[in-house]
């Protein structure tokens, strides 16, 4: 029997949607089996630096720090347009105020693509506090941070909680480069045999294709990990981050 591969991805709806079929036997996994490890993306980034997973979701920014250990798969990426991180606050804040470096900004992790984009747009904004992404809205609302860098489903919830968008860093990236926003990808350990890495990519691509063709099949798994998220927000989240690039980067 083949040894199970340690597989890491986040509990967010887009990851659960993409991986559901391959971890629940809805497709032919070509003999592969998986030991699942779910965590927030920054924890996954740091586990990748430690080489703890055979296959893992990680930020594109983080991938640049571990290319000696991991290869990027063609399938499974969160890459697209109009899907970037947002800098939000309780009050109107000017770009000059951000550049002052005096604002306390809550970020979802040093190695997230979100923090990378914030650094590109405002290199002077160095007063940062790292929090789990789901705690950032509350930190801003409670006054523990002047502004927050939000990702994932918080794009759909911040306005209803009375928070304001300062800047869409995805729009900043697209206007500066004309390119899709490279949020996260799936990496595989380089030490695995080439045929195994190719098999993992095939299986993941089949899993994403199955998810697209059978949208409701993954719903129980998505709901299990979506906490208090409404079904409407779950699908908005999925539709924002899972697209043709998730099937193949080519």
Average the pLDDT over 33-37 and give the result.
97
207's tokens:
């899993």
Phi, psi for residue 133 in degrees, rounded to 5: -50, -35
Q: Is 70 exceeded by the pLDDT of residue 189? A: yes
The pLDDT > 90 percentage for the chain reads 91
- SS3 assignment for 51-85: CCCCEEEEEHHHHCCCCCCEEECCCCCEEECCCCC
pLDDT for res 230? 86
How far is the C-alpha of 55 from the C-alpha of 176, rounded, in Å? 32
Q: Is 70 exceeded by the pLDDT of residue 228? A: no
Q: Is 90 exceeded by the pLDDT of residue 227? A: no
pTM of the model: 0.94
pLDDT for res 173? 97
Q: Is 70 exceeded by the pLDDT of residue 241? A: yes
On the 0-12 / 13-18 / 19+ scale of CB atoms within 10 A, 249 is middle
Give the range of the structural domain holding residue 105, as residue numbers without chain letter.
86-177
Average the pLDDT over 72-93 and give the result.
96
Q: Is 50 exceeded by the pLDDT of residue 1? A: no
Average the pLDDT over 231-240 and give the result.
90
| Stronger pLDDT, 2 or 104, i.e. the higher one | 104
Q: Return the exposure string of 195-227: e unless at least 16 CB atoms fall within 10 Å of the residue's CB, then b.
A: ebbebbbbbbbbbbbbbeeeeebbbebbeeebe
pLDDT band at 3 (very low <50, low <70, confident <90, very high): confident
Last residue of a domain, one of 125, 151, 177: 177
Are 99 and 167 in the same domain? yes
Q: Is 80 exceeded by the pLDDT of residue 132? A: yes
Last residue of a domain, one of 151, 177, 203: 177
Are 75 and 110 in the same domain? no
Average the pLDDT over 141-168 and give the result.
94
Q: Is 90 exceeded by the pLDDT of residue 68? A: yes
Average the pLDDT over 146-153 and give the result.
94
Mean pLDDT, the chain, as a whole number? Answer: 95
Are 109 and 147 in the same domain? yes
pLDDT band at 153 (very low <50, low <70, confident <90, very high): confident
Q: Is 50 exceeded by the pLDDT of residue 243? A: yes
Residue 17 and residue 198 in contact, taking contact as beta carbons nearer than 8 Å = no
How far is the C-alpha of 73 from the C-alpha of 191, rounded, in Å? 14
Given 24, 61, 152, 237, which residue is catalytic?
152
61 is catalytic: no
Last residue of a domain, one of 177, 205, 226: 177
Domain of 28, CATH number, reads 3.40.190.10
pLDDT for res 2? 67
What is the count of structural domains for the chain? 2
pLDDT for res 92? 95
Are 43 and 103 in the same domain? no
The pLDDT > 70 percentage for the chain reads 98
pLDDT band at 19 (very low <50, low <70, confident <90, very high): very high
Average the pLDDT over 210-226 and give the result.
95
């Amino acid at each position: 029997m083949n040894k199970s591969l340690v597989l890491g991805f986040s509990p967010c709806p887009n990851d659960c949607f993409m991986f559901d079929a391959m971890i629940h036997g809805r497709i032919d996994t070509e003999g592969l089996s998986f030991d699942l490890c779910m965590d927030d993306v920054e924890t996954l980034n740091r586990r990748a630096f430690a080489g703890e997973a055979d296959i893992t979701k990680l930020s594109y920014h983080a991938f640049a720090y571990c290319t000696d250990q991991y290869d990027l798969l063609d399938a499974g990426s969160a890459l697209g347009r109009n899907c970037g991180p947002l800098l939000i606050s309780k009050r109107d804040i000017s770009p000059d105020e951000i550049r002052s470096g005096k604002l306390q900004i809550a970020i979802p992790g040093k190695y997230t693509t979100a923090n990378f984009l914030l650094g590109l747009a405002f290199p002077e904004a160095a007063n940062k506090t790292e929090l789990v992404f789901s705690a950032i809205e509350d930190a801003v609302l409670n006054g523990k941070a002047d502004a927050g860098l939000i990702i994932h489903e918080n794009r759909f919830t911040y306005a209803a909680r009375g928070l304001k968008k300062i800047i869409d860093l995805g729009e900043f990236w697209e206007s500066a480069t004309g390119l899709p926003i490279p949020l996260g990808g799936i990496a595989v350990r380089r030490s695995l045999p080439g045929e195994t890495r190719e098999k993992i990519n095939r299986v993941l691509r089949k899993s994403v294709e199955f998810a697209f063709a059978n949208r409701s099949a993954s719903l129980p798994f998505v709901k299990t990990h979506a906490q208090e998220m409404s079904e409407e927000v779950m699908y908005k989240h999925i539709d924002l981050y899972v697209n043709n690039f998730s099937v193949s980067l080519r």
